Amino acid sequence: MPAIAIVGRKNVGKSTIFNRLMGMRLSIVYKEPGVTRDRIYGEMTWCGRNLDVIDTGGFFPDEELPLARKIVRQIELALREADLIYFVVDAKSGLTPSDEDISGELRKTNKPVFLLINKIDNRKDDSKAFEFSKLGYRDIFPVSGEGGFGFGEVLDATLKLLKIKLAPSGHADQVIKLLIVGRPNAGKSTLFNAILREERAIVDEKPGTTRDLINARFKHSDRFFEIIDTAGIRRRSRIKESIEFYSMMRVLHYIEQVDIVILIFDISQGVVKEDCRIVNLALAKAKGIVIVPNKIDLVPSKDRRKILPSVQKSLDFVDFAPVIPMSARDGRDVDRLLNHIIHVYTELNKSADRQVLENIVPQVKPPPGGMINSIVQVGKKPPVFNVSTTVPVRESYLEYLRNFLRKYFGFVGVPILMRTKIRRGNAG
């Protein structure tokens, strides 16, 4: 999915524009604490096309304070991620030296730039935009973040420039799309390379874009796969906050595109908070999940039996996900990993037998003070169930229902989504 970075000096209305865009069929918003304020990124849909949008902090071109320099570094990372830049200026305050300085910095990126002249409250204010032509941009849009004026033209031009297509159908649906995620030095690229060495029938391989994407297609057991390695994500202590934020932005960007997320981590370091956050993102997007504790060759043989229970305890909130301990370096368990991935993909597309589902509903423990009327599967990839009850139910009860369904139907490695509806009266 293409990414757009909203940039500009302080107080020109960047966050107002971001919120305006997010109001246009918002998919998801994720907040991450930043250096001086929350950093926010999100996804939106326009005319059936999906876009990632990054709201950045205000540029500090004339300040040398440590916090200002950290925010500038965050903005630089956002620009590196972006396919298109929305450069926001303030029509009411007019063109400033800071605007000109920022414009100079943006030109160095060699990225396309749309100049958004904000705070144009009506058509009569269009004349205020004239002085900004001095910046030399071809694509200039008068807008009002507060009033919502002008964004249809901006988004139409965005789709045209980036040539964003509707999601393909047909053969593309038969490709199992995978994402390898994990901390630096967990073995992501080693696993990626091990998979491609194992499978000789590589049908397509494309090295990265500006976002350090490594993408390859291959065939295994008569199934086609596309695999993405999130290479290039690095954590440095001196810019920990910005790297962590935009690393998560990148992971969220890629999770949207795939069917199954492979979390890989160094077993000698165990599961840490960042791993849990990545898994939670996969859950939020209802993707298949496979857990790979890596580097088991470094674990003494007598201790390897402890790996599985230890990982399951650390990631107990995804106890339905298969755990495949392996050594990506020697690649001996790649075939077993891919077979588990095929199984999870099958589970993603599974439909519970309707008759069996109807027969087991009477065995379900009723919610406190109520009854279950019916449970019906209404979707797959991921599986979605409509649950009709006579009373409101808590998340803990829905978790009980998910575990109950897993006992009969499996859904290994797959989040189960539930929609509840209250219908008073007796079941039946």
User: Cβ(9)–Cβ(102) under 8 Å?
Assistant: yes
| Parallel, antiparallel or unpaired: strands 214-220 and 49-55 | unpaired
67 membership: H or E segment, kind and range: helix 66-81
Tokens of 260: 């199954």
The residue to which tokens 């620009």 are assigned = 79
How much is the pLDDT for 411? Answer: 94
**Of the listed ranges 143-157, 231-245, 376-390, the one predicted with least confidence:** 231-245
**What would the DSSP string read from start to end of 221-234?**
TTEEEEEEE-TT--
Q: What is the pLDDT of residues 234-247, one digit of tens each?
A: 444 433 444 455 55
pLDDT tens digits along 151-199: 989 999 999 999 876 644 444 457 899 999 888 788 888 888 888 874 4
Q: Which residues contact residue 314 at a Cβ distance below 8 angstroms, ignoring those fewer than 6 apart?
A: 270, 271, 276
The tally of CA atoms less than 13 A away on the side-chain side of residue 33 is 1
Q: Which domains does the chain have, with CATH numbers?
A: 3-162 (3.40.50.300), 170-348 (3.40.50.300), 354-422 (3.30.300.20)
Q: Give 272-310 as a DSSP string.
A: -HHHHHHHHHHHHTT-EEEEEEE-GGGS-GGGGGGHHHH
* Residue 216, beta-bridge partner list: 205, 227
Q: Are 89 and 132 in contact (CB under 8 A)?
A: yes
Hey, which of 93-97, 279-283, 341-345 has the most confident mean pLDDT?
A: 341-345
pLDDT at 334 over 70: yes
Per-residue exposure over 284-303, b if at least 16 CB sit within 10 Å of its own CB, e if not: ebbbbbbbbbbbbeebeeee
Q: Which two tokens stand for residue 105?
A: 């910095």
Own/partner contacts of 221-224, CB < 8 Å, gap of 24 or more, are 221/338, 221/339, 221/342, 223/176, 223/342, 224/174, 224/175, 224/176
pLDDT higher than threshold 80 for residue 28? no
Question: What are the DSSP calls for 315-331, one per residue?
Answer: TGGGTTS-B----TTT-
Q: Give residue-wise pLDDT tens across range 252-279.
A: 777 888 999 999 999 988 898 888 888 8
Distance CA 70, CA 73 (A): 5
Q: Quick one: average pLDDT of 32-59?
A: 63
Local structure of residue 119 (DSSP, 8 states): -
Per-position b or e across 225-251, b if 16+ CB within 10 A of its CB: bbbbbbeebeeeeebebbbbbbbbbbb
Please determine, for residue 231, whether its predicted confidence score (pLDDT) is greater than 90.
Answer: no
